[in-house]
Amino acid sequence: MSEGKDLLALYEQMMVIRRTEKVAYDLFLAGLVKGTTHLASGHEAVAVGASAALRPDDYVFATYRGHHHTIARGGSPEACLAELMQKATGICKAKGGSMHLTYAEGNMLGSYAIVGAHLPMAVGAAWSARLRGTDQVAVAFFGDGATNIGAFHEALNLAQVWKLPVVFICENNLYMEYTPIGSVTAVEHPAAGRAPAYNMAAEVIDGNDVLVVRDAVARAAARGRAGEGPTVIEAQTYRHYGHSRTDPAKYRPAEEVEAWLKRDPLDIARTRLETLGVDSEEIAAAERRATQTVEDAVAAAKAAPEADLAEAFTDVWADGGAAWRN
Hey, where are the domains in the chain?
3-312
Closest by CA to 113, choosing from 88, 96, 133, 89, is 96
CA 82/CA 89 separation, integer angstroms: 6
Q: Starting at the earlier edge strand, list the strands of the sheet with 138-143.
A: 108-112, 59-63, 138-143, 166-172, 231-236, 201-206
Q: What is the mean pLDDT of residues 244-257?
A: 88
Q: What is the mean pLDDT of residues 27-42?
A: 89
Closest by CA to 224, choosing from 58, 52, 105, is 58
Tally the residues of the chain: 326
pTM of the model: 0.94
Residue pair 148/185 in contact by the 8 Å Cβ criterion: yes
Q: Which residues of 224-254 are buried (b: 16+ CB within 10 A; e: fewer)?
A: bbeeebbbbbbbbbbbbbbbbbebeeeebee
CA 223/CA 45 separation, integer angstroms: 22
Query: Torsions phi, psi of 158, nearest 5?
Result: -70, -40
CA 21/CA 72 separation, integer angstroms: 13
Q: What is the pLDDT of residues 170-214, one digit of tens each?
A: 999 999 988 999 999 999 999 999 999 999 999 999 999 999 999
Q: What is the pLDDT of residues 212-237, one digit of tens each?
A: 999 999 999 999 999 999 999 999 99
Q: What is the mean pLDDT of residues 70-88?
A: 96
Q: Is the pLDDT assigned to residue 326 strictly greater than 70?
A: no
CATH fold for the domain made of 3-312: Rossmann fold (3.40.50)
More confident residue, 247 or 25: 25
Classify the C-alpha dihedral 151-147-240-218 as positive or negative.
negative
Q: What is the pLDDT of residues 292-319, one digit of tens each?
A: 999 999 999 999 999 998 888 888 777 7
Q: Is the pLDDT assigned to residue 1 strictly greater than 60?
A: no
48's CB contacts (< 8 A; 6+ apart) are 10, 13, 14, 17, 68, 72, 210, 213
